[in-house]
Structure 1
């Protein structure tokens, strides 16, 4: 796992800069589209962000994915010639209760951590590129880009801070947007 050792070395490098001048901590809540193990669903995340000088460490202890799985095993939806949709038992073809054919959802829980380097420090928008590692369905390293938008406080008394993320790895993709708050 060469990529994993590179990722660990990257995080160790980041932690050496913890006491630099430009440190900030945030809590982020975001939602978006997640693709895991060949299935697309909705993700909901709670993250802790540490901005350390030009680096961002993103610890994601709450990574929930709601993945639709279709009808219960052994059942299928079918459209009759008159246009009605019915539920059938796949093994014997008999009609079944409609509840057996409603879309089911799997709840997949995971943990993730990533880090990135800030390419743009001269504006209200910080843009970080980096790498990370996530556990569970699938456990994989990934590359990531994170956007932190912090509006100029001179123009707004109550600015909204926006967090955006795109990440891609083996059998994994995430595109999310949310809010972040100083802690």
Structure 2
């Protein structure tokens, strides 16, 4: 997976070097998403390349979700404290083991068309865990550089904010 993610990042970097005259700038996305059969959050960083209302946007980011490690749990003790325990043997464990947060890297590429003051519409592809998921995307502006953005495709849904710089 790291090789594919590296290849996507390298391709995005080369694309950014080849067309500086079309560049609009950096963008950040923060989405609630359903991917990999789980709900979680996406935090991404991208670069927008635009010409004549059309945009191409490579994005890299992290999908943050609740992992599968149910071995550790938080136990409320009679003295009012909460401690992390190992469910296999009942022993106390490091508190960090009870944090069941998991992270998966992703890469996306989006091609869109902007209808000024109305919406940006288009499609994209999301690369993660050796899978490519196509999706449609719509972004509605809230302010000049801030949009509410939704993505939907097979086994992938996301809704959140896109902020440009």
Give the TM-score normalised by the residue count of structure 1. 0.62
Do the aligned partners of residues 163 and 24 (structure 1) sit closer, same or farther apart at CA in structure 2, a change above 3 Å counting?
A: farther
Which is higher, the Rg of structure 1 or of structure 2? 1
Aligned ranges 1:27-66 → 2 under 5 Å: 27-60=26-59, 62-66=60-64
Instruction: Report the CA distance between 1:98 and its aligned residue.
Output: 5.8
Measure, in 2, the Cα distance between the counterparts of 1:82 and 1:150.
51
Unaligned runs of 5+ residues in structure 1 are 1-18, 152-160
Measure, in 2, the Cα distance between the counterparts of 1:135 and 1:149.
28
| Structure with more of its chain in helix, by fraction | 2
Instruction: Report the CA distance between 1:169 and its aligned residue.
Output: 2.2
In the TM superposition, what whole-angstrom CA distance separates every residue of 1:39-94 from its partner, at most 9, and x where no partner exists? 2222211111123223222211x212222226x453344668999866543334x2
2:109 counterpart of 1:113 = yes
Measure, in 2, the Cα distance between the counterparts of 1:129 and 1:83.
53
Unaligned runs of 5+ residues in structure 2 are 1-18
Q: How many residues of Structure 1 are paired with residues of Structure 2 in the alignment?
A: 144
RMSD: 3.1
2:86 counterpart of 1:89 = yes
Do the aligned partners of residues 24 and 40 (structure 1) sit closer, same or farther apart at CA in structure 2, a change above 3 Å counting?
A: same
Measure, in 2, the Cα distance between the counterparts of 1:83 and 1:38.
36
8 Å CA contact retained: 1:30, 1:163: no
